[in-house]
Amino acid sequence: MRVVSGSKKGHPLQAVPGRGTRPTVDKVKESIFNMIGPYFDEGLALDLYAGTGGLGIEALSRGVENCIFVDANRKAVSVVYKNLDATGLRDQAEVYCNDANRALNALAKRDLVFDLVFLDPPYAEQKIESQLAIMNDHGLLAPGAFVVAEHDAKDKLGEQIGSLMKIRETAYGQTVITIYRKEI
């Protein structure tokens, strides 16, 4: 695992020990950013279910100004910190050990608005559509924001959730990447 492109291209990233975290492989990560970017001029990102932090770190490397990382697993949060330190991106990040829904409610209270959101929950715990609805209802998404959801191929996500429209869905074996965009 490594940073695929941008200012931190080639930096290796540590994995979370054990089998509880499924990091996004470099090939899929590169495809995601080719679909939504590939580069950015500033903006705020959210890496919910951060795991290693690989998607948020990739976004920072590609020009996103700041990223908030959230994971309920303490080992994952520790790895996110290590990966941010190794890439020199810690000053552009906030990292929280918290449940995803509680984190979304806390972020809404701060009146934050995200330009880019990554949702890569463990396949057994997916609540993607309800979390998209929470983000939409609480005004957490900027007009034109992208939401990238990584999920199991057997889980089908709706074409529209509030003001979020599905714009792309691509399968990589048992993994599917679904991309939503908030209406402008």
11, 155 contact by CB (below 8 A):
no
- Say how far apart CA 64 and CA 37 lie, in whole Å: 11
- Say how far apart CA 70 and CA 157 lie, in whole Å: 22
Q: What pLDDT, on the 0 to 100 scale, is given for residue 25?
A: 81
- Other C-beta atoms closer than 10 Å to the C-beta of 182 total 22
180, 164 contact by CB (below 8 A):
yes
Nearest residue to 12 via CA among 25, 3, 24, 22? 3
- Report the DSSP beta bridge partners of residue 66: 44
pLDDT in tens, the chain (184 residues): 899 999 999 999 999 887 666 677 888 899 999 999 899 999 999 999 999 999 999 999 999 999 999 999 999 999 999 999 999 999 999 999 999 999 999 999 999 999 999 999 987 778 899 999 999 999 999 999 999 999 998 889 999 999 999 999 999 988 999 999 999 8
47, 118 contact by CB (below 8 A):
yes
- Say how far apart CA 88 and CA 77 lie, in whole Å: 16
- Three-state SS for 47? strand
- Report the DSSP beta bridge partners of residue 12: 2
Ordered structural domains, the chain, with CATH: 26-182 (3.40.50.150)
Q: What pLDDT, on the 0 to 100 scale, is given for residue 22?
A: 65
Beta strands (DSSP E) in the chain are 44-48, 66-71, 93-97, 114-119, 141-152, 160-161, 164-172, 175-182
User: What is this structure's pTM?
Assistant: 0.95
18's CB contacts (< 8 A; 6+ apart) are 75
* The residue to which tokens 């959101």 are assigned: 117
- Say how far apart CA 60 and CA 106 lie, in whole Å: 22
155, 124 contact by CB (below 8 A):
no
